[in-house]
Homo-oligomer: A and B are copies of this chain.
Amino acid sequence: MIERIPNLLRAHGIKPSHHRIKVYEYLVEKRNHPSVDMIYQELVQNIPTLSKTTVYNILNLFLEKGLAVMITIDENETRYDADTSLHGHFRCNNCQGIYDLRLDPAAWEWESLDGFEINESHLYFKGLCPECCH
């Protein structure tokens, strides 16, 4: 699993440095739609010299190379997701958790988009998750 990450990065035109591998590893293992700070706080424990700028640089590189997508469901901080497949998100306003929503691909086909060339699709819901509905 982990030994495949360097090849995956290379396949996307990214030289697999130690930091880049660790950031990608975080994304795929946690699957928690983290902010830059969440990634930084975790990785800095094992890489004491890590700079937050590096995390920004790496994530921007991932976005550019199509290895991750940006999620703007939180108004303050950008979140990131290594799952680049077409899916939606739900954020609970109580526990702040972010859930993946697997939706029928047919649901993403909108007739009113004729003539538009779509590069990104974002579907977000906010409210209360089942646990927080009590």
Question: Hey, which bits of chain A sit against chain B, CB under 8 A?
Answer: 70, 72-73, 75, 78, 88, 90, 93, 99, 101-103, 107, 110, 112-113, 115-130, 133
Among A110, A116, A122, the one with the most B-chain Cβ atoms within 10 Å of its Cβ is A116
Contact status A126-B130, CB under 8 Å: no
Count copies of this chain in the complex: 2
Q: In the complex, which residues of chain B have a beta carbon less than 8 angstroms from the beta carbon of A122?
A: 73, 122-126
Contact status B107-A110, CB under 8 Å: yes
Q: In the complex, which residues of chain B have a beta carbon less than 8 angstroms from the beta carbon of A130?
A: 115-116
Contact status A115-B127, CB under 8 Å: no
Nearest residue, chain B, Cβ from A72: B72
From B93, B116, B125, B129, A125 is in contact (CB under 8 Å) with: B116
> How far in angstroms is the closest Cβ of chain B from A24?
22
Contact status B110-A118, CB under 8 Å: no
Q: How far is the CA of A115 from the CA of B119 in the complex (A)?
A: 31
